[in-house]
Amino acid sequence: MPDWPVFNDSDILAARGLRNGTDVMRPWAFLVEPERSASGRVEDVATLFLTNRECPIRCLMCDLWQNTTTEPVSTGAIPAQIDFALSQLPPARHIKLYNSANFFDPMSIPVADYPAIVERVRGFDSVIVENHPKLTGPRCLKFRDLLAEHDVELEVALGLETIHPDVLPRLNKQMTVEDFDRAARLLTDEGIRVRAFVLLRPPFLSDREGIEWAVKSVEHAFRVGVSVCSIVPTRAGNGMMEQLQREGHFSPPSLAAMEETLARCLELTMPESHRVFVDLWDAVKFATCLECSSVRIDRLRRINLSQTHESLISTPCCGPELRR
């Protein structure tokens, strides 16, 4: 095993800055964006970033704690947040209820709120929530059954992160690849769609290694029943990642790495209903050249929607940067 440092909860907490101010009656962010659906159509998705208690699992790379509370929210707060966001947003076919933690952790989303939540999302085709593989069990099925009464499909997003045998144990995620596989198979056996989050260039890997292991991780996820993979470029910004960067154990992935990873994942053998996206949130931060970054990011955005490879854009400043 490589001589890489190992960090625990105390180390990760000690490196943190301050939380952002939050209102437990409002989500900390919300938007509508297009996404290619399993049917092959591009459809609008309402994404709500709910405010609730911090995830009890302190992953090395996570910065989502910045918009969470230290205590559980009261019953009724989450439905009120959904009401507020939907009153501000245009109509959409699907809804993501992302909560910076685990939807099926009762300390994050009160079980007593499930019926009220379902009442508010009953007009959508599907609901996508995020959850830790080890917290995937009976509460998922309970929520699935409540949604099914209104012909709403449930999809659960699980963080696989990476199947690298030396990196995953150092992310402090408190799970193994086998834990992920068990959760994915449990959900798919119950007719629940699964999407996976895969990190591009987590700590301790070079840009090239980051590409290779992201592709391997996406391939593994599809093999165990996942139908959507979201490739998330690993970011600094939580305190711990800056420390790793100073110590030479982390650098963010390049925009070229994002381009190559998406291109190679689209070449994987998979059913037409399966999709792979690259997360473009603040993607400009991964660009080394601001002159051509916008056209290259726009290209990735089009590929996310079409799921079809496009030739690289050759620009006067950088030319085509995709490496082979």
Mean pLDDT of 139-146: 98
Q: Which residue has the tokens 């290209």?
A: 299
Helices (H), 151-289: 177-189, 207-223, 240-246, 255-266
**Distance separating alpha carbons of residues 316 and 312, to the nearest angstrom:** 13
- Residues 6 or more apart in contact with residue 246 via CB below 8 angstroms: none
Phi then psi dihedrals of residue 228, to 5 deg: -140, 130
- Average pLDDT over the chain reads 95
Residue 290 reports pLDDT greater than 90: no
Residue 306 falls within a domain, yes or no?
no
- 160, two tokens: 């696989």
Q: What is the pLDDT of residue 271?
A: 86
Q: What is the pLDDT of residue 292?
A: 87
**Inter-CA distances, 139 with 108, 130, 143, 178, 198, Å:** 13, 13, 6, 21, 24
Q: What is the pLDDT of residue 316?
A: 72
Residue 322 falls within a domain, yes or no?
no
- Residues 6 or more apart in contact with residue 207 via CB below 8 angstroms: 201, 251, 253, 254, 256, 257
Residue 95 falls within a domain, yes or no?
yes
Q: What is the pLDDT of residue 318?
A: 76
Residue 323 reports pLDDT greater than 50: no
For helices 114-121 and 138-148, give the axis angle rounded to 10 degrees.
Answer: 40
* Predicted confidence (pLDDT) per residue in 104-121, tens digit: 999 999 999 999 999 999
* Domain count of the fold of the chain: 1
Mean pLDDT of 228-254: 97
**Distance separating alpha carbons of residues 233 and 37, to the nearest angstrom:** 22
Residue 324 falls within a domain, yes or no?
no
- Of 28-42, 140-154, 240-254, 261-275, the one with minimum mean pLDDT is 261-275
Query: How far is CA 294 from its chain centroid?
Result: 22
Please say whether the beta carbons of 171 and 187 come within 8 A: no
For helices 77-88 and 114-121, give the axis angle rounded to 10 degrees.
Answer: 10
Mean pLDDT of 90-102: 97
Residue 223 falls within a domain, yes or no?
yes
* Predicted confidence (pLDDT) per residue in 174-232, tens digit: 999 999 999 999 999 999 999 999 999 999 999 999 999 999 999 999 999 999 999 99
- Residues 6 or more apart in contact with residue 140 via CB below 8 angstroms: 104, 131, 154, 156, 187, 190, 192
Phi then psi dihedrals of residue 68, to 5 deg: -120, 175
- Of 18-27, 102-111, 284-293, the one with minimum mean pLDDT is 284-293
Helices (H), 102-249: 114-121, 138-148, 177-189, 207-223, 240-246
**Distance separating alpha carbons of residues 183 and 139, to the nearest angstrom:** 13
Residue 307 falls within a domain, yes or no?
no
Residue 299 falls within a domain, yes or no?
no
Q: What is the pLDDT of residue 1?
A: 64
Residue 315 falls within a domain, yes or no?
no
Residue 288 reports pLDDT greater than 90: no
Strands 228-233, 275-278: pairing is: parallel
Tally of CA atoms within 13 A in the half-sphere of 54 that contains its CB: 18
For helices 255-266 and 290-306, give the axis angle rounded to 10 degrees.
Answer: 20
Residue 52 reports pLDDT greater than 50: yes
Choose among 258, 195, 244, 252: nearest CA to 59. Answer: 244
Mean pLDDT of 235-255: 96
What CATH number has the domain bearing residue 275? 3.20.20.70
Tell me which residue range forms the domain holding 222: 9-286
